[in-house]
Structure 1
Amino acid sequence: MSSQRRKAFTIEEKSAIICRLENGESNSRLAKEFGVGHSTISMIFKNKNRIKQSFNSNVLKPKRLRKSRQENVDQALIHWFKNMRNKGIPVSGPKLQEKANGFAARFGILDFNCSASWISRFKVRHNIVAEKIVGESSSVDQNSTTNWLISVWPNLRKQFSDDDIFNADETGLFYKLMPNKTLKFNCENCSGGKLSKDRITVMVAANMSGTAKKKLLIIGKSQKPRCFRSVKSLPVDYAINRKAWMTSELFEKWLRDRDRDLVKKKKKILLLVDNCPAHPNVTDLKSITLAFLPPNSTSVLQPMEQGIIRLLKMNFRKNLEMINCVDANENNSSTKITVLDAHLMVNDAWNKMSQSTIHNCFKQAGFIESHDGLEHEFDEEDDIPLSLWSRNLNSDSLAAPEMWEDYVDIDSALLTFEEPSDENIVQNISAKDQLESDGEEEVEEAPLPTAEEALKAAELLSRFVHSNIENDNLTIAMSSIHNSIKECYYNKMKKTKADKNHRLLTVKNTLVCVIMC
């Protein structure tokens, strides 16, 4: 009989074990280090998704994952609690009981009466301690942008290099909107409703030197869009919300995922974000120092709002108009843009953003002292007006120059988050199951190209590049793409041949058996 004692790990300890397993450490080594059996380590790894979810929610100390019988009430209450703490509003036990009963009534749960013991278990489940729910004062008033830059910013900056100071911000995007459709938006509120149906939210993040652009986070409405069915991987991170908005839960998950990556790289950064309900003050981050900009200072102090987001949209709409012109010339039909198309085009627009443009936007916001007397300046290639660029296409569907300015800015006021209310919290939780199972796009799905068609297209494109474009990097990249498609084609051919031989052998063996019988 084994002499090993049964050991219970906290969520935080289990998360660390999962991290080490994912980094390549063996089960046997960890089992020996912690004095447990191999099956214990295997069971922890088997439940990694639930453990990571609890860790992301700051549930660190409990040793078992216990769910509440009233799961909807539990989720609504923790959501409301976080909103209150983000605003610096003290919350007491009796207040939690009152809100829990209120949420139960909204969910139609008639036999629920919140007790003090239920609240005690709620606190344990979510790692809430007394200091966090009573008596904590709000942060210091920082309404003056100038005072913040003088008194707060220097202390933050001196701890980090320009390469390690990042800013992140969200923007809404009408990803199907063509320039000849923008007039109908005049004098209409584009913050919600029907006009927002074909929209996504994009989170952009980059460092102050412009040397590091983080992978985009795109928030859509559908868990499984039809256009994603045959996609192996996306160049961006994708999340869902029923209104395609950023939420505190999505932001916290994004933040903790980045934090874990930085821990592995043994790197620390400063992240500047604006002070909005979708950006909670996430605790226990190991490699990210989270700093909030003063309230109501986004238009002045947010680097992404100094031109980066606008240029991202301009580059995106250049891609959109190019596709529109090609389709109009070849098919005489309107363009059908899917969520996948939007992902690829937004990512391409982000990749085109130059280092100097990002750096100058931080300078424009006041984060970098300017010693050369220069004002806000973009990279020359970035700063081509969309109207001038489109005119060079010789498009037949060009709008007036002022129309193009409207086209770029049409979704600049589009909401990216909601001010949480009890009703919104209940609606979001009630809609969660439906959100994860439906919401597919109403866009006709184009048939996937075969390996042979892809190879012919790659050969054609490769000849065009070599004959018309003098760019060594592009030539090398094109050759790499061509070779990859060629390898895929031959692998599929070998598999098809092997399958055919297997079928013939099966038929042959069957005939032999029939004859012998």
Structure 2
Amino acid sequence: MTSQRRKAFSIEEKGAILARLENGESNSALAKEFGVGHSTISMILKNKDRIKESFNSNVLKPKKLRKSQHDNIDQALLQWFKITRNKGIPISGPMLQEKGNVFASGFGNPNFNCSASWISRFKVRHNIVSGKIVGESSSFDQSSTYNWLTTVWPNLRRQFSNEEIFNADETGFFYKLLPDRTLKFKGENCCGGKLSKERLTVMVAANLSGTVKKKLFVIGRSQKPRCFSSVKSLPVDYANNRKAWMTSELFERWLRDWDRNLVKKKKKILLLVDNCPAHPNVTDLKSITLAFLPPNTTSVLQPMDQGIIRSLKCNFRKNLVLKMINGLDCNQNSPMKITILDAIVMINDAWNKISQSTIYNCFKHAGLIETYDDLPVREIEENEFDDEDDLPLSLWVRNLKSDLLPAPEVWKDYVDIDSSLMTYEEPTDENIVKNITENEQYESDGEEEIEEDRTPTAEEALKAADLLSKFVHSQMESDNLNWAMSTLHNGIRSFYYNCKKKQMQTKITDFFSKK
């Protein structure tokens, strides 16, 4: 009797076997097909979480999942490698060795020697291969794009429906920037400086079908802006840190909150994100399968970058311009003040306005709807965007015919002024070591926005609702809008009468308490 020879599968092959097991195929049928014992298939199923983690990180070739004995050095060196390669800087083996020794010293491990063999195993663990750099380093990687679309994406895709596939990305907003100041800032470095102090970072996420637009996650600098003092609920999730940037800690917190919410709803999703330093590979998620787009491909494969974020910014700036015009029409001589609360409301309104078809077509334009023989680098087809989402701000402003507004050629610059705004921190060597050893979490510096915003009274809100209701019912032919207005009006009316009731009860109590 001859013993059965043990067969070693690559991560890619194990991922395919897992997908078939999860689709209902039996252990025995797969063992027979691949000529292995039942225990081999059972071991793959047992290690499914680690296999999926490597598979979704595009680590496909290794046949064994080995962790380094010096895991902290391994993690730090991998972070540095991703950051440096995303800058387009070539990296050699000796550079990795030298950097490995630097991190070893930072972790207080001076006896560690980052040898060539350790680097060789490091490369195998993380699917790092040598290659010749051709053309501009910042241009997207065509081969990685094609390979990901034809090998990784189909395996991920078949496990989820259109409603269960999401993409998320951050973008920066200069939320106080008005069009008459745009030319002053044109060409200015968006990575830092005074402008960054009046900025927000917004995490945008939606599913492939466009049927679900996740609640926005907004990051500001102030922990408790004064304009929030009387606000009981925000239309977005809000967090803060010193630079209003996304951090790995905020990303993980946002992701785990979403995961817990999905567990309660008994739903599972696939979430595609880019592999920037602020997006760690969060493990132990129960309802979210986290998958990373290949480096240097996000300009092509990221659906949010195919027009969704630009539509969001265009809609936001339309709201901002209308607020400016309304202020001028009301003869407000003082400069218009935009609080963080104003910006959040307008950004949320802009997000709600983006249509389902626009989101779907941006996923399609990224090549994620179907597999193409060629790379998904093509002109946007006609009717891919709703007319409202695709209407240039310059044309929209021109139709206002206002003598108070700058020339139309200014408006393209206005929309794109913060398109290159940094949304995350690129850690230094010291920060990488500190984040890994202490899991550093940014805390508020206690600074508050210097802004005042008086809360309207219940009487003022009811009068405004009365006026707005008359306008909607007399001027706008929309059943949905009329229903929404009626709901809002009733809510404010009930709040007003409850306030009056409490006031009356207080007065009666005061009357009987008098001696």
* TM-score normalised over the length of structure 1: 0.71
1:111-168 C-alpha deviation (Å, 9 max, x unpaired): xxx999xxxxxxxxxxxxxxxx989711466862112111111111011111111100
C-alpha distance in 1 between matches for 2:350 and 2:446: 29
Q: Is the 8 A contact 1:316 1:346 kept in 2?
A: yes
Q: Does 1:375 align with 2:376?
A: no
C-alpha distance in 1 between matches for 2:512 and 2:167: 62
Q: Is the 8 A contact 2:203 2:216 kept in 1?
A: yes
CA, structure 1 residues 459+500, in 2 after alignment: closer, same or farther (shift >3 Å)? Answer: same
Q: CA deviation at 1:472?
A: 1.4
Computed over aligned residues only, the root mean square deviation of the Cα atoms, in angstroms, reads 3.2
Give the alignment partner of residue 420 of structure 1, picking from 413, 422, 427: 427
CA, structure 1 residues 324+255, in 2 after alignment: closer, same or farther (shift >3 Å)? Answer: same
Q: CA deviation at 1:478?
A: 1.2
What residue is the counterpart of 1:7 in the other structure? none
What residue is the counterpart of 2:179 in the other structure? 179
What residue is the counterpart of 1:220 in the other structure? 220
C-alpha distance in 1 between matches for 2:212 and 2:358: 12
Give the alignment partner of residue 441 of structure 1, picking from 449, 467, 480: 449
1:474-517 C-alpha deviation (Å, 9 max, x unpaired): 11111111111111111111111111121222213xxxxxxxxx
C-alpha distance in 1 between matches for 2:200 and 2:286: 30
Q: Is the 8 A contact 2:242 2:442 kept in 1?
A: no
Q: CA deviation at 1:402?
A: 2.1
CA, structure 1 residues 422+504, in 2 after alignment: closer, same or farther (shift >3 Å)? Answer: farther
CA, structure 1 residues 244+345, in 2 after alignment: closer, same or farther (shift >3 Å)? Answer: same
* TM-score normalised over the length of structure 2: 0.71
What residue is the counterpart of 1:3 in the other structure? none
Letter paired with 1:488 = F
Structure 1 alignment gaps of length 5 or more: 1-77, 102-113, 117-132, 509-517
What residue is the counterpart of 1:44 in the other structure? none
> What SS does the corresponding residue of 1:144 show, helix, strand or coil?
helix
Letter paired with 1:342 = A
Letter paired with 1:236 = V
What residue is the counterpart of 2:474 in the other structure? 467
Q: CA deviation at 1:97?
A: 7.6
Letter paired with 2:473 = H
C-alpha distance in 1 between matches for 2:73 and 2:233: 35
Q: Does 1:500 align with 2:499?
A: no
Counterpart mapping for 1:373-412 below 5 A: 375=381, 377-412=384-419
Letter paired with 2:219 = I
Q: Is the 8 A contact 1:169 1:205 kept in 2?
A: yes
What residue is the counterpart of 1:138 in the other structure? 126
> What SS does the corresponding residue of 1:369 show, helix, strand or coil?
coil
> What SS does the corresponding residue of 2:389 show, helix, strand or coil?
coil
CA, structure 1 residues 95+391, in 2 after alignment: closer, same or farther (shift >3 Å)? Answer: closer
CA, structure 1 residues 240+256, in 2 after alignment: closer, same or farther (shift >3 Å)? Answer: same
1:373-415 C-alpha deviation (Å, 9 max, x unpaired): 9826211121111011112223233222221000010100000
Q: CA deviation at 1:240?
A: 1.1
Structure 2 alignment gaps of length 5 or more: 1-70, 82-95, 112-120, 130-140, 373-378
> What SS does the corresponding residue of 1:270 show, helix, strand or coil?
strand
Q: Is the 8 A contact 1:202 1:218 kept in 2?
A: yes
1:256-300 C-alpha deviation (Å, 9 max, x unpaired): 111111111111111100011001111111111111101011111
C-alpha distance in 1 between matches for 2:453 and 2:171: 29
CA, structure 1 residues 286+433, in 2 after alignment: closer, same or farther (shift >3 Å)? Answer: closer
What residue is the counterpart of 1:361 in the other structure? 362
Q: Is the 8 A contact 1:86 1:280 kept in 2?
A: no
Q: CA deviation at 1:447?
A: 2.0
The percent identity for this pair of structures is 64
What residue is the counterpart of 2:336 in the other structure? 335
Q: Does 1:288 align with 2:288?
A: yes
C-alpha distance in 2 between matches for 1:179 and 1:80: 48
What residue is the counterpart of 1:148 in the other structure? 148
